[in-house]
Amino acid sequence: MQLLDGKALSKKIELEVTSDVKTLKDKCGCTPGLAVVLVGQDPASATYVNMKKKACDRVGFYSITHDMPQSISQEAIEKTIIMLNNDTNVDGILIQLPLPEHIDTTKLLELVEPAKDVDGFHPFNVGRLVTNLDGFVPCTPLGVMELLKEYEIDVKGKNCVVIGASNIVGKPMASLLLNADATVEICHIHTDSLKKHTLNADIILVAVGIINLITDDMVKDDVIIIDIGVSRTTEGKLVGDVDFENVSKKSSFITPSPGGVGPMTIAMLLKNTLKAAKINAKDKK
């Protein structure tokens, strides 16, 4: 069994991004800029945003957080996004999810300029992903693909089971695997007999947030496990969706949780923002 170390790879990517940022600054005086819209006081969201800001500082990005109260109106957030769309110092816009119930999340995501949609949630970028065209890809599934590439795991022809069908992880994950010539199944809350699907899988990618959903009797020998889920136990410990202790004994490769996919998500946000900045720099010439 070999661990897929996302923490180590994310540090490697940060060094590459830092170097590219310096080159970009030397060439055109451009500094990649990321703006984050944070609404409400959700502790997990605040933690993620703080981690993203620290990562931006480490690689030399300009970053700004628009911290808004829980009671803010839809119109006020829309005005902020329009302002950021028009701000030439901002290359990427990230709306931290989830948003309060009274906010129309879909409308806000569609309002972000596709060229600044570094989260890859705009329908324009979703469409380009599905049709295997260049665009911005959601950071978590993109990070998974980078992790597989780093450990020379070729998904071509492999039976891949994606568990979870969210727009943020499950669906784009399946599209990326399909684009890489994998055979893909998507399982979700209405799937009959999850075990029937996972037992045939060469690679299992799970992102649902249910502790110990995947147990050792559900996987075959030498399976590759990508655990994307994150939950907190009653003791306060962060864990994934996989019974790591027992499943790891049957795995050829497995991600730890935390320390596997999580760090890669932020690393891909940096790469996407840098990509947007490079495109913008060309447009300014």
Q: Do domains 29-113 and 139-262 have the same CATH topology?
A: yes
Catalytic residue among 91, 119, 202, 243: 119
pTM comes to 0.94
pLDDT at 285: 57
Q: Where are the domains of the chain?
A: 29-113, 139-262
pLDDT at 46: 86
As given in the structure block, the two tokens for residue 245 are 């202790």
Contact, 35 vs 64, CB < 8 A?
Answer: yes
Mean pLDDT per block of 10 residues along the chain (285 residues) reads 95 97 91 95 86 95 95 96 96 94 95 97 97 97 98 98 96 98 96 95 96 95 96 88 95 93 96 95 68
Dist. CA 189–CA 175, nearest whole Å: 19
Instruction: Let me know if 41 is a catalytic residue.
Output: no
Catalytic residue among 20, 91, 96, 171: 96
* Secondary structure class of 98 (helix, strand, coil): coil
Dist. CA 218–CA 213, nearest whole Å: 10
* DSSP letter, residue 135: S
* Secondary structure class of 225 (helix, strand, coil): strand
Dist. CA 81–CA 68, nearest whole Å: 12
Q: Note the CATH number of domain 139-262.
A: 3.40.50.720
pLDDT at 16: 97
Instruction: Let me know if 52 is a catalytic residue.
Output: yes
Q: Please tell me the CATH superfamily of domain 29-113, with its number.
A: Leucine Dehydrogenase, chain A, domain 1 (3.40.50.10860)
